[in-house]
Amino acid sequence: MSDEQKPVAPPAAPPGPPAKAPPKNPGMVTFTVDGREVIAKPGTNMVDAAKTVGVEIPFYCYHPRLSIAANCRMCLVEASNSPKLVPACQTAIGEGVAIKTATPKVKESQRAVMEFLLLNHPVDCAICDQAGECKLQDYYMRHDHKPSRLERVGGEGTSGMKVLRNKRKIIGPNVVLDQERCVLCTRCVRFMDEVAKEPQLGVFNRGSHEVIDVHPKYGALDNNYSGNVVDICPVGALLSRDFRFRARVWFLSAAPTVCTGCSNGCSVSADFMGQDVYRYRPRENEAINKSWMCDQGRPTYKAFHASRLLMPVIGKGADAREATNSEAVKYAAMKLKPLAGSVAFAVAPTVSNEDLMASFAFARDVLQSKTVYVTGRAPGAGDNFLMKADKNPNRKGLTWIAKGFGFELKTFADFTAALDKNAIKALYLVGSDVPEDAEVFAKRLAGVELVVAAAMHETPVTGAAHVQLPASSHIEDEGTFTQEAGITQRVRRAFPPRGESWPAWKWAVELGKELGGAAVYGTSREVFRTLAPQVAELKDYAWDKETPMNVKGQGNQTLPAGADGRPPGWREQGVPRIRGI
C-alpha cells in the first residue's frame, strides 16, 4: 500500500534565449552605419563596409592586408550592441547592429585619441617628408582642431616637455627611422612579420618609452621589401632614404604606370614634377602585387633621368656628331636603303608593346626581316614573392608579338654567334640592354657595317652604333606592358619626352616613311589600334579604358589637376624649372 511514487518529471528547463531572427539578406550581414544600411559579406571589416556607404572611419593601425592590432583606438565607434565604444576594425559586423560614427561620444573619443597621440609628437612638420600625406595632419584637422594642453616648459610660446627618442636613425639601406614621430601603430612590425616574412622590426620597452626598432637578431632592416614600410607608415616615422628631402608631395602628381625592374610588372604610381620622376609608390593591384613592391624595383625610376640619350648622334667614335631628328632619320634611311633585305633586327624586351609592334611592322615590311634577336637584361635573383629572376618587363609581350607578326625568335647566344661569324652586315637595334657586359658586346658590334640603335640610355652599346636615335621612356608616352603571367597593363603618360627623344615606335615609323613604307601613325593609340589585331592575345585589350589617369585623386597632391591630369604648375620641356612652381 505504499504510494506509488510516480516518477517526478524533471523541473522544466528555464526558457532559453529567444530564437535569433533570420538575417534580412540570407548569406550576408545587414547593419546600419549612421542610419545608412550596409549589406556586406560576413567577415568584411567594419571599416571597409562603412566606406562603401561613404562613411570614413579614421584609423592608423588598421590595414586591410595585415592582421588586426586595434591598438591606435582611433576607429572607436558607438555600436548598439555594446555599452562601450568598440574599435571598428576589430569588431565583427553583426546582423542588425546600428553603428554610429558621429555622436558626441565618438567625437570626443577621436579628439582625445588625437590629443594623446600628439602629446609626444615632435614639432616636425616643416622638415618631415610625410607632410601632405600624413594621417596625423589629416585627422587632426578633421577630428581634433584644438590647441595643445601640454604644460609648457618656459611659459607661453615654448614647447612642452616631450619624450625624446632617437631621431633619423638609419636602420637599413633604404629606410630611416624617426622614433619620436612614431605613433606605435605597429603596421611596420606586422608587415615585416606577415608579408615579408622576416620580422626585422619590433617594439621595445614599455609605456612612454615604447619604441620601434630593428631586432638585434637581424641588425638592420635590409629585407627586399623594406620599402613598403615607408608606404604603410601613417606618419613620418619611417621614411625612404632615397626620397628624403627631395620634394614636397603636394607638388607631385601621380601617373599610373608599371615598374620595369623585372618581369613581374608591379603596378606603381610614378610621382613626378615637371619632367622628373621622384619616386615610385605601389598601386593596388589584387592580381599582381596587392599593395606592395620590392626594393629592387623602387630605384628603377632613376632610369628615366640617368645617362639618357637625348639627341640623335650620327657617326661613330671620332666622327660622332649630334644631329636633328629629321637629319638622323634621313641619314639612317640613306644608309639602310642599299642594305635592305639583309638588316638584322634585334630587340630588347624592355620596351612597351606599342614600340615592339611598330618596330616589328617596320622590320617585316620595310627591312624584310623574318627573324628577331632577343637581347634584354641578364637574369638576376628572384624570390618567391614579387621579385622575378627575369629582369625584362615585357618578355611575354615580345613573345606574343613575335608570334603574331610571324617572326622567329632567336636567343642572345645565336646573336653573339652570328656577330662573331661576321654574318651580320647591318643591324637595327631597339633597346640598349644586353645580358652580357656592355663593353664586351660593343666590341662584338665593331664588325657590323651599319648599326642603327634606338635606345633610351647612352651605354657602350649605343656608343658602338653608327646612328644613335634617342628613344623616350614609357613614362613619356602612353603604352602597355605585358607581365610574365600574361596580364597586360596600361602605362600613362606623365610628361612629354625629354630632350629630342621620340618613342621607339615613332622612330620605326619615321624610318619606314623615309624608306617608302606605308605606315603612318601619329600616336601610340593608333599604333595599338592598327597593329594589335595582328597579335592574338592583345586584340581584345581595352586600351582606352584601362588604368585611367586619376584626375581627382592625383597622387597626394592637393593642387588641383588641370584638365589633362597634371597640376597647373609644370612646364613644357626646355623652360627652366623652378622647384615647386
Partner 1 sequence: MAHSPMTDHDDAYDPTPDNSELEAHLQTKNMVINLGPSHPAMHGTVRMRVELDGEILAKVDTEIGFLHRGFQKSCESVTWTQVIPYTDRLNYVSALMNNFGYLNAVEKLMGIEIPERAKYIRVIGAELHRIADHLTATGALGLELGAFAAFLYGIEARELVADRVTELTGARLTTNFGRIGGCNRDLPPGWIEKTIKTLDRTIELADEVGGLLTRNRIFTDRCRGTGVITTEDALDHGFTGPCLRACGVNYDIRKAKPYWVYDRMKFDVPLGKNGDNLDRYLCRVEEIKQSVSIVRQALEQIPPGPVILDDWRIVLPPKEEVYSTIEGVMAHFKLVMEGVQVPVGEVYDSTEAANGELGWYLRSNGSGRPYKVHVRAPGFHILSGVGKMIEGRMLADLIPTFDTINMIGGEVEQ
Partner 2 sequence: MSTWALDQIQQHLPEALASRYHDRTGAEWAVVKRESIALVAAALKEKLGFKLFISMDSVDRLELPENTPRFEVVYFLFNIERNEHVRLKVLVPEDDCNVPTIRFVYQGANWAERLSWDFYGIHFTGHGDMRRILLYEEFKGHPLRKDYGLRERQPLIPERPIKDIFRGPGTNGTSA
Query: Which residues contribute to the site for partner 2 (CB under 8 A)?
Result: 551-552, 562-564, 566, 568, 570, 572
Q: Cell numbers at residue 578, please?
A: 623652378
- Which C-beta is closer to partner 1: that of 160 or that of 380? 160
Count the Cβ atoms, other than its own, within 10 Å of residue 339.
14
Give the DSSP per-residue string, 365-429.
HTS---EEEE--PPP----SSS--S---TTHHHHHHHHHHHTPEEE-HHHHHHHHHTT--SEEEE
Does position 563 interact with partner 1 (CB under 8 A)? The reply is no
How far, in Å, CA of 192 to CA of 404, rounded? 43
Does position 140 interact with partner 1 (CB under 8 A)? The reply is yes
Does position 311 interact with partner 1 (CB under 8 A)? The reply is no
Q: From the list 2, 5, 158, 384, which residue makes contact with partner 1 (rule: CB under 8 A)?
A: 158
Scanning 91-149, the segments in alpha helix (DSSP H) are 104-119, 135-143
CB of 122 to partner 1, least distance (A): 7
| Contact assessment for residue 168 and residue 161, using Cβ atoms and an 8 Å cutoff | no
CB of 565 to partner 2, least distance (A): 11
CB of 562 to partner 1, least distance (A): 8
- Which C-beta is closer to partner 1: that of 7 or that of 104? 104
Q: From the list 136, 329, 348, 374, which residue makes contact with partner 1 (rule: CB under 8 A)?
A: 136
The partner in contact with residue 378, picked from partner 2, partner 1, none with C-beta cut-offs of 5 to 8 angstroms by kind, is none
How many chain residues touch partner 1 (CB under 8 A)?
Answer: 31
Q: From the list 33, 59, 121, 270, which residue makes contact with partner 1 (rule: CB under 8 A)?
A: 121
Stretch that binds partner 1, among 146-154, 339-347, 517-525, 536-544 (CB under 8 A): 146-154
CB of 80 to partner 1, least distance (A): 28
How far, in Å, CA of 436 to CA of 488, rounded? 28
- 370: amino acid identity, one letter: K
How far, in Å, CA of 349 to CA of 335, rounded? 26
Q: What does each C-alpha distance from 465 to 32, 187, 241, 441, 507 come to in angstroms?
A: 68, 51, 37, 12, 15
The partner in contact with residue 122, picked from partner 2, partner 1, none with C-beta cut-offs of 5 to 8 angstroms by kind, is partner 1
Q: Cell numbers at residue 61, please?
A: 593601425
The partner in contact with residue 148, picked from partner 1, partner 2, none with C-beta cut-offs of 5 to 8 angstroms by kind, is partner 1
Q: From the list 35, 42, 160, 516, which residue makes contact with partner 1 (rule: CB under 8 A)?
A: 160
Does position 15 interact with partner 1 (CB under 8 A)? The reply is no
In a 10 Å sphere around its CB, with 0-12 CB exposed, 13-18 middle and 19+ buried, how is residue 306 labelled? Answer: exposed
The partner in contact with residue 146, picked from partner 1, partner 2, none with C-beta cut-offs of 5 to 8 angstroms by kind, is partner 1
Q: From the list 70, 118, 340, 438, which residue makes contact with partner 1 (rule: CB under 8 A)?
A: 118
> Grid cell 602605362 — which residue?
491
- Reference 478, options 464, 466, 493, 488; nearest CA is 493
Does position 122 interact with partner 1 (CB under 8 A)? The reply is yes
CB of 277 to partner 1, least distance (A): 22
The partner in contact with residue 98, picked from partner 2, partner 1, none with C-beta cut-offs of 5 to 8 angstroms by kind, is none
- Which C-beta is closer to partner 2: that of 84 or that of 552? 552
- The rounded Cα 184 to chain-centroid distance in angstroms is 26
How far, in Å, CA of 505 to CA of 362, rounded? 9
Work out the widest C-alpha separation in the chain, in whole angstroms.
135
How far, in Å, CA of 57 to CA of 75, rounded? 6
How far, in Å, CA of 517 to CA of 329, rounded? 13
> With left for phi above 0 and alpha for psi between -120 and 50, is residue 186 left, alpha or beta?
left
CB of 121 to partner 1, least distance (A): 5
CB of 39 to partner 2, least distance (A): 22
Handedness of CA 299, 305, 308, 312 (dihedral sign): positive
Beta bridge partners, 453, equal 429, 468
The partner in contact with residue 551, picked from partner 2, partner 1, none with C-beta cut-offs of 5 to 8 angstroms by kind, is partner 2
Does position 26 interact with partner 1 (CB under 8 A)? The reply is no
Query: What residues contact 15, with CB distance under 8 A and at least 6 apart?
Result: none
Does position 152 interact with partner 1 (CB under 8 A)? The reply is yes
CB of 147 to partner 1, least distance (A): 6
Stretch that binds partner 1, among 27-35, 319-327, 434-442, 553-561 (CB under 8 A): 553-561
Return the SS3 of 479: strand
Return the SS3 of 133: coil
Return the SS3 of 300: helix
- Which C-beta is closer to partner 1: that of 126 or that of 578? 126
CB of 254 to partner 2, least distance (A): 17
CB of 503 to partner 2, least distance (A): 21
CB of 495 to partner 2, least distance (A): 11
Does position 124 interact with partner 1 (CB under 8 A)? The reply is yes
Does position 558 interact with partner 1 (CB under 8 A)? The reply is yes
Residues that bind partner 1 (CB under 8 A): 118, 121-126, 131-132, 136-138, 140-141, 144-148, 150, 152, 156-160, 250, 558-560, 568
